[in-house]
Amino acid sequence: MTKRYVFVDVETTGLDSYRDTMIEVAAVAWQDGKEVDRFAALLNPGRAIPPMITDLTGISDAMVAKAKKVGSIRPKINAIIGDHIIVGHNASFDVGFLQAENMAYGNHVLDTVTLASIILPSLGRYKLDYLVQTLGLPQTRAHRAEADARHTLNLFVKLQELAMQLDMGIIEEIVNVGGKLGWPETLFFEDILTRKTRTAFETGERSGYVSGLFKPEKIEAKALPPLDEKKELEPIDVAMVKGLLQAGSNFSRAFPTFEPREQQVEMISAVAGAFNKQKHLMVEAGTGTGKSLAYLLPAAFWSTQNQRRVVISTNTINLQDQLINKDIPLVQTALNLDLRVAVRKGRGNYLCGHAFTRLRHNGPRDRAEMVLLARILVWLPTSQTGDRAEISLRSPAEKAAWRKLSGEAGQCNRQNCSAATCPVQYAKRKAETAHLVIVNHALLLSDVANQNHILPEFKELVIDEAHHFESAVTNGLSFEADRKFLDALLEELSKDSSGVLVDLAKNMRELPDDVQDTLREASGAIRQAAQLADMRLAELFETLGFFLSDYINARSDFSQSVRLVEKVRGSADFQLVRESWQNLNIRLSTIANQLNKLNTGLLHLLDDGSTTFADSDELLSTLHDTAKNIDEVRQNMDKIIDKPDDDTITWIDVWKKRISLHAAPLHVGPLVEKHIWENLNSVIMTSATMRTAPQGFGREANFDYIKSRLNAAKVNELALGSPFDYKKNTLLYL
């Protein structure tokens, strides 16, 4: 007999199934492709319906005044549901309210939010009304129980159709790993696999493990060599580039809405001149100048003529998208240049092929990893980048699971991964072959902080949205830690169910008994130290709470800050904070040293060739990274609490019960001077707002302030007005 699905939906007075109650319920039973039963009823909640709920659902107090109480409809709902499969959109909400009224206990439950996020991993939004509209399903009024139950039914059927189009091997893998974990949605994919198996003989489709999921259509990174810089630099023909922006030029005809702008021509001349003379330049270009083209054209010619990379840094994703999807393709088409372009993001944005293969081999450990595994299996064959931006990560647990699979996890390198199979290495290799590399300010600064090990070598840089650059540098060099962050740091070592020490215990079973004993003793010492550190951490935040009571209003709903100035640090209560921190500091230092000692010992065992075990490279990398991370956090905390310096601002933020410690550089100019102005040949900074006006009536705005903040005294400057005729086109000016 085929399965029967019961699609349920409830409307309620609120979100809490313990405090709120249902005002409408609906259940639609579906079997063999047709409706076999239904029930829908308004319910009297015995209380006033909040106005917000009435606005959302259209259900008013008058409509439910004579409706039945929930107890009277319980037998009917239980009869329809029986022991059948319940399906809901955000099913835990609906089932939670039903179970609060002694209904729907013990049934298998499927959630169409989860299923849609797997089968349509790149959609981004999974609200029911959005899915119904996007997929072209029949629509009736949303936020009424029966209508939404039928919407969920139609969505479920559509998801079955879409799942039938997936590779049989991928479905089989989801079923196998989901079944071992006891994941509820496995049932959905089991049905799909059964259907596909029945038709496999006719279609010729085969099951089995699917390898090589990441298949960019053009592996340019593999085929193209890195840029081969010319020994003698060829200057840009400034007159030729300026001519491109004249009315009637071939280039201008490629832009349907092109209008010659004097300011744009002046800027393009200045940028080209800066590249040619290897000078730095600040350009304030008013709104409407078209500054993107004014630096893209010189950058395109400079990089292709000299086979020399230019990095373009922006502050916002919107500008990155504009450059990649609009401006650069137009330049490539209009100029017919062999201009190769790459977008480079932080390693944490890309899936690591090695880490993902390991997850497929070992299997997920919890629901979040299972859902993410299924989503990636469906998404990766269609992706050209392996970038997490293509799939919305929906929960903190899913984001945490992604971090273990990303290039940030520390196990992705060219020994483990190749550009043809790993998105991290593909993005890196593609950037190495590109003339223009688009990044954001945060990644640019991360590259600086990591001794230029993230981006391929470059000597020319364009910084757009430059008015945000100082704050981006400050944020990039700032530190923040709260109790939750520090707990997670120690939990990786102290918990018994997972973490680097648990992985070590699993792998060392292959080793000789005496080696196992030594490693077990070392692991035990680290775990004990982490548990002791956790106790000291609790003491620190308890002491911080006591100290802060003299400086904040405990009843305030707003964030409050306490600057750790000399007077505050000299108080008796802060001395208690310092003593508490010193106790924790000793424990953290011990943990970092023990991890490094364990890592060194394992390296010696592996180097002499007498010992081998699975995933040794990854384990060693994780041990090293964990020790490094703990020590960096320890040093930053020490700077905040015990050893402040004159170049750093330190403070404590309090919001409700959350206490966080902060440090930020007081002045970033020397760092910018050292790593940007002195290290690069030509840097173009541009924005619509870079100048400030000095105090005093009638004094002209200048670049003095931003140049002083960024230690840019010797940088050339150019201020261009906006081409907009404000007097003619503005009705109101504030």
Which string of b and e fits 346-362 if b means at least 16 CB within 10 Å? bbebbbbbbbbbbbbee
Task: Quote the tokens at residue 324.
Answer: 């990649």
C-alpha span between 452 and 444 (Å, rounded): 9
Identify the three-state secondary structure at position 494: helix
C-alpha span between 428 and 161 (Å, rounded): 37
C-alpha span between 681 and 415 (Å, rounded): 33
C-alpha span between 493 and 488 (Å, rounded): 9
Identify the three-state secondary structure at position 25: strand
- Residue owning tokens 């200048």: 702
Q: What is the DSSP letter of 121?
A: T
**Which amino acid type is present at position 730?**
T
Per DSSP bridges, beta strands 479-482 and 648-655 are unpaired
Residues 6+ apart with CB under 8 A from 316: 440, 465
Per DSSP bridges, beta strands 341-343 and 560-563 are unpaired
- Residue owning tokens 């002694």: 102
Burial of 483 (0-12, 13-18, 19+ CB in 10 A): middle
C-alpha span between 404 and 355 (Å, rounded): 7
Residues 6+ apart with CB under 8 A from 144: 11, 24, 57, 58, 59
Task: Quote the tokens at residue 453.
Answer: 């090990």
**Which amino acid type is present at position 455?**
L
**Active site amino acids:** 143
